[in-house]
Amino acid sequence: MAKYAYPAVFTPEEDGGYSVSFRDLEGCYTCGDNIEDAIYMAEDVLALCLWDYENEKKNVPLPSAPGTIELKDGEFVSYIRADTIEYARKVSNRAVKKTLSIPEWLNIRAEEAGVNFSQVLQEALKQKLGLVSNM
């Protein structure tokens, strides 16, 4: 999982909205009622598409270089960013039960101290995987 930036092609629609496509990513497109909505929707669909690529172990295509995308009249390109780690935190936050083993003496001490095992494991995994934010 990573951070990405991809060029999005914005196509104005007759009703004032915009269609948005990511030509580097198959099936990655959306629309919005206005430019603000289109950008919001583009951020969401980009994160979803890239998250799917990662989960399905597909090769994530490189984004096109600036100026290499052919445009029709009225279309424009804007880069949209996506963070698949943040996206996963939002959409895949279901708790998963894990069974683990620790030495009995450590279990006794931790229970006496009122340690929340789930919280400690989550914090340790985030630190181990470099997912701890320094905010």
Domain range list for the chain: 3-91, 95-135
Sequence-ordered list of residues with C-beta below 8 angstroms from that of 35, at least 6 positions apart, any chain: 10, 18
Instruction: Return per-residue pLDDT of the chain as tens, 135 residues.
Output: 689 999 999 999 999 999 999 999 999 999 999 999 999 999 999 999 999 999 999 999 999 997 899 999 999 999 999 999 999 988 887 888 888 899 999 989 999 999 999 999 989 998 998 887 654
Sequence-ordered list of residues with C-beta below 8 angstroms from that of 80, at least 6 positions apart, any chain: 5, 6, 7, 8, 22, 39, 42, 43, 46
pTM score above 0.85: no
120: which 2 tokens?
């400690």
CATH number of 3-91: 3.30.160.250
